Structure 1
């Protein structure tokens, strides 16, 4: 089958946009393993910057992973039941509650962080703990988990499924765990993918919430760029990609597998 001019035009445009998006990432990765970024690849390749980044900022990487996984756990515990309740009780009140829960997405992260500091910054030692950053990430990421699960629930005949399970003698926990959750696994995994990605890369809110002892990966990356240490900052970016790409690939694989099993 011959390809028309439209196909080749669309393919060329897609490749051009892909190159435009990938080129900055590739340039940053190359700078992170180049001995002298201003000279270029002719200066040789080195792992010096990666070693220095891990020695100086390794704690920020591990803290970001801890916060991202904790954010995922909390949003799962809150978001799935909240989405279930909103789907079961559709109405004006449910829609108002939903809009209130997703409002932090529309508010600048710095404004949300300032509100958290004013409201809870004086509570014990919370301000100096990484749990304070966790609270901010949960506020920001919860809407993405909620909307992902709610969209799947609203597309299902939820009441019909539960009535069928009740007719078979299933209790509410059995219906929720054995019927509802398996049917929304795709939405849960999609929400998890967004939550982990957003938490690892969140900067605006974390910039105000962090302390010198609770710097996350994006804050450390900004510090490296501010200090004009281009090679260090690029090596920092490379470490971020090494962490995030396998994690996201694994989650996408899990989502695809869950979708196939559901079919």
Structure 2
């Protein structure tokens, strides 16, 4: 009986916490669809605010997607081989390198952005390009990709697999592509999910690095909150949700299919 009440209390607390988190999002969506939030439902509903947001800020949506995809591509190219190299090397040196790579996570985004500006701010074309924002996102998200892959590598007997492929005459690059990558796929998918979500939603770092020509969706969202009426700012939130939710669901489906293939 006591266990039953404990379970029921846990469900109630979880439901209340979920409502506490979800209600603000629902109210924001509601505000973006009403003719006048102050007048409430009596004013009716409209998609005009969403249309205005798209006309004003559509380029920030596409730029955010481009930045996130470029960030993902670079973290895959750098993070997956880098994680394998650190695990393969092992020892104190590998741990030191891993800690250095993880530093951007501990450093505030504004401080990391300031360091990039001080280092490369004089490179005019680079400083004013979207690639400058991408570099900041890569530095910020790379540790999450590497940690996800390292975690998987530490749970499998990769050394035996690698040595078996080497005994058959496979060169190092072939062993990495044909043996290591298929076995760390769950970590790669988990890292990709984290990198995409962090990149699309990153504000502090991007706010410091962006220029008027390289504004991303979160920065545009902040501008809308500061300078537009409430309904337009809330409609911008709705556009953000429409963009991010299908992307997250798609990645989760890919992760589920990957896990099923690995266990079958």
How do residues 77-226 of structure 1 correspond to structure 2 at under 5 angstroms? 77-226=77-226
Deviations 1:69-124 (CA, angstroms, capped at 9, x unpaired) = 00000000000010000110111100000000010000000000000000001114
**2:181 and 2:119 mapped to 1: Cα distance?**
35
TM-score under structure 1 normalisation? 0.97
Q: List, as ranges, runs of 4+ consecutive aligned residues in structure 1 with deviation greater than 6 Å.
A: none
**1:124 and 1:37 mapped to 2: Cα distance?**
44
Q: What is the deviation of 1:228?
A: 4.7
**1:228 and 1:124 mapped to 2: Cα distance?**
31
TM-score under structure 2 normalisation? 0.97
**1:24 and 1:187 mapped to 2: Cα distance?**
33
Q: Does 1:242 align with 2:242?
A: yes
Partner-residue secondary structure (3-state), 2:154:
helix
Q: For structure 2, which runs of at least 5 residues remain unmatched after alignment?
A: none
Q: What is the deviation of 1:241?
A: 0.6
Residue number in structure 2 paired with 1:54 = 54
Moved more, 159-168 or 99-108: 159-168
Moved more, 180-189 or 121-130: 121-130
Q: For structure 1, which runs of at least 5 residues remain unmatched after alignment?
A: none
Deviations 1:217-245 (CA, angstroms, capped at 9, x unpaired) = 00000001111521111111111111111
Q: What is the deviation of 1:175?
A: 1.3
**1:234 and 1:153 mapped to 2: Cα distance?**
43
**2:35 and 2:221 mapped to 1: Cα distance?**
19
Deviations 1:128-168 (CA, angstroms, capped at 9, x unpaired) = 11111111111101111111111111111111111122233
How do residues 14-93 of structure 1 correspond to structure 2 at under 5 angstroms? 14-93=14-93
**1:173 and 1:78 mapped to 2: Cα distance?**
15
Aligned length: 263
Deviations 1:180-207 (CA, angstroms, capped at 9, x unpaired) = 0011110000000010000001000111
**1:239 and 1:232 mapped to 2: Cα distance?**
10
Residue number in structure 2 paired with 1:11 = 11
**2:41 and 2:192 mapped to 1: Cα distance?**
38
**1:23 and 1:121 mapped to 2: Cα distance?**
42
**1:65 and 1:41 mapped to 2: Cα distance?**
34
RMSD: 1.4
Partner-residue secondary structure (3-state), 1:155:
coil
